[in-house]
């Protein structure tokens, strides 16, 4: 592929950008080959089926991609968050937001708390098989009556001899149907507010009922409503400390939001490249549509949006990688990229004309998929609330 003028850091002409090193760029090449050869060919069918096969996880595990950031002793590759960041960026090339979401939920939000807060026994029973692609994971926090207001969850865990009895329901859970286990936020006291939230690792078995919810985009993923009916969870499945689960949620959110920002920038880049090529080939009134000033300006604006989003996201990623406080930067990166990606997809759709509205080009799917961005992982409005707080407002 040729370099894209005006977008020096475009992956097609990728220069090495800190914090990425030559090793990350080598990994990028391998992942890209995997995505193009193993995932992209199935994506259209999986979107139509509204389900991608579970063996995607075993295939990813076979090449080590489910454990890039985890230590070798747990079956991982001994890398770090940056290796996962490369995977997240490249997954956008599969052309299915739902597929990326299912994989992302497993590696990006459901297994990290087990690695960070889990006991050795929990790591052996859940993290090791998750890295091996033998068990699929989901993170279950949101409820029918509590989304943005995480502290308002009501799923209860009542202490009994040897464990907990869980009752309640969870809403919009990615991988919620196929998951073998659910990293679940529960209330362990009747205390209101942030206190009294704990995490339990719940096997998807007796007393757990999941049903798939139909949605606007992310068609290949299973988003579920889950109910817990007197589910017994043994003591050894308590993740982290009792009543300290809110801390776990907040710690997890930073990586989830970074992952979403990385994914959005990568999606914007892919849509930009596809649309630029289209605009250079499609002619109207005797010239390529790219030659109309209005189209040129659209590309200028989109390129600027992508560069801005990427710069902010990589800045937040660098801070996160260094272990520095980066709540403000991560929040800004998510806020700056999610609505922008949806708007950019819409602009690309417009440049495609009628073709953009057709399924064949994948632009309408991208637009539907990207609409989730300003909602999932904390809405745009909540991002602004967090930023206001970081400014003392």
Ligand X SMILES: Cc1cc2nc3c(=O)[nH]c(=O)nc-3n(C[C@H](O)[C@H](O)[C@H](O)COP(=O)(O)OP(=O)(O)OC[C@H]3O[C@@H](n4cnc5c(N)ncnc54)[C@H](O)[C@@H]3O)c2cc1C
* 382 binds ligand X, rule: CB under 6 A: yes
User: In the complex, what is the shortest distance from the CB of residue 256 to ligand X, in angstroms, rounded to a whole number?
Assistant: 9
Minimum distance, C-beta of residue 376 to ligand X, in the bound complex (Å): 5
Window 4-63: residues binding ligand X (CB under 6 A): none
- Rg, Å, the chain Cα set: 21
- Per rule CB under 6 A, is residue 381 in the interface with ligand X? yes
Q: Is 147 in the site for ligand X (CB under 6 A)?
A: yes
- Least CB distance from residue 271 to ligand X, whole Å? 20
Provide the minimum distance between the beta carbon of 267 and ligand X in the complex, in angstroms, as a whole number.
15
Strands 197-203 and 283-284: unpaired
Name which of 35 and 153 has its Cβ closer to ligand X.
153
Choosing from 139, 225, 238, 363, the residue that interacts with ligand X (CB under 6 A) is 139
Nearer to ligand X, 95 or 373 (CB): 373
Tell me, yes or no, if 89 is annotated catalytic: no
Are 198 and 238 spatial neighbours (Cβ–Cβ below 8 Å)?
yes
Measured from the CB of residue 90, what is the shortest distance to ligand X in angstroms? 21
Query: Which residues in the 72-131 window bind ligand X by CB under 6 A?
Result: 105
Q: Which is nearer to ligand X, 188 or 338 (CB)?
A: 338
Show the binding pattern over residues 213-252: x = contacts ligand X (CB under 6 A), - = does not. Answer: --x--x----x-----------------------------
- Least Cα distance to 136 among 93, 186, 173 occurs for 173
User: By CB under 6 A, is residue 375 in contact with ligand X?
Assistant: yes
Q: Smaller CB distance to ligand X: residue 69 or 334?
A: 334
Of 90, 256, 329, 364, the active-site residue reads 256
Q: Closer to ligand X by CB, 132 or 151: give it.
A: 151
* Catalytic residue ranges: 256
Question: Contact residues for ligand X (CB under 6 A)?
Answer: 105, 138-142, 147-148, 172-174, 215, 218, 223, 372, 375-379, 381-382, 385
């Amino acid at each position: 592929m040729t370099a894209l003028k005006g977008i020096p850091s475009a992956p097609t002409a990728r220069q090495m950008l800190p914090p990425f090193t030559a090793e990350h760029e080598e990994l990028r090449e391998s992942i890209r080959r995997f995505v193009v050869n193993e995932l992209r060919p199935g994506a259209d069918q999986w979107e139509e089926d509204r389900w991608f096969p579970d063996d995607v996880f075993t295939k990813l595990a076979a090449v080590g991609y489910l454990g890039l950031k985890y230590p070798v002793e747990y079956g991982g590759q001994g890398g770090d968050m940056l290796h996962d960041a490369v995977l997240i960026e490249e997954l956008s090339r599969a052309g299915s937001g739902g597929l990326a979401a299912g994989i992302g939920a497993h590696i990006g939000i459901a297994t990290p708390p087990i690695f960070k807060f889990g006991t050795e026994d929990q790591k052996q029973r859940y993290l090791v098989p998750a890295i091996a692609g033998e068990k699929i994971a989901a993170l279950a926090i949101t409820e029918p009556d509590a989304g943005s207001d995480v502290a308002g969850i009501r799923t209860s865990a009542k202490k009994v001899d040897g464990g907990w009895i869980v009752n309640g329901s969870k809403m919009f859970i990615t991988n919620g149907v196929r998951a073998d286990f659910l990293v679940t936020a529960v209330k362990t006291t009747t205390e209101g507010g942030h206190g009294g939230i704990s995490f339990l690792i719940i096997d998807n078995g007796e007393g757990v009922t999941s049903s798939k919810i139909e949605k606007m985009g992310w068609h290949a993923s299973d988003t579920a409503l889950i109910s817990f009916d007197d589910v017994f969870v043994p003591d050894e499945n308590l993740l982290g400390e009792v009543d300290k689960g809110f801390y776990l949620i907040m710690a997890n959110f930073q990586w989830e939001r970074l992952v979403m920002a990385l994914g959005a920038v990568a999606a914007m880049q892919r849509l930009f490249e596809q649309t630029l090529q289209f605009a250079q080939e499609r002619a109207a009134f005797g010239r390529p549509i790219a030659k109309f000033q209005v189209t040129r300006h659209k590309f200028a604006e989109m390129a600027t949006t992508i560069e801005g989003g990427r710069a902010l996201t990589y800045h937040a990623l660098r801070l996160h990688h260094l272990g520095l406080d980066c709540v403000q930067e991560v929040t800004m990166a998510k806020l700056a990229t999610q609505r922008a990606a949806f708007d950019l997809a819409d602009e690309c759709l417009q440049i495609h004309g009628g073709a953009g509205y057709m399924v064949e080009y994948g632009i309408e799917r991208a637009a539907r998929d990207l609409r989730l961005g300003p909602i999932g992982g904390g809405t745009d409005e909540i991002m602004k609330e967090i930023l206001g707080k970081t400014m003392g407002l």
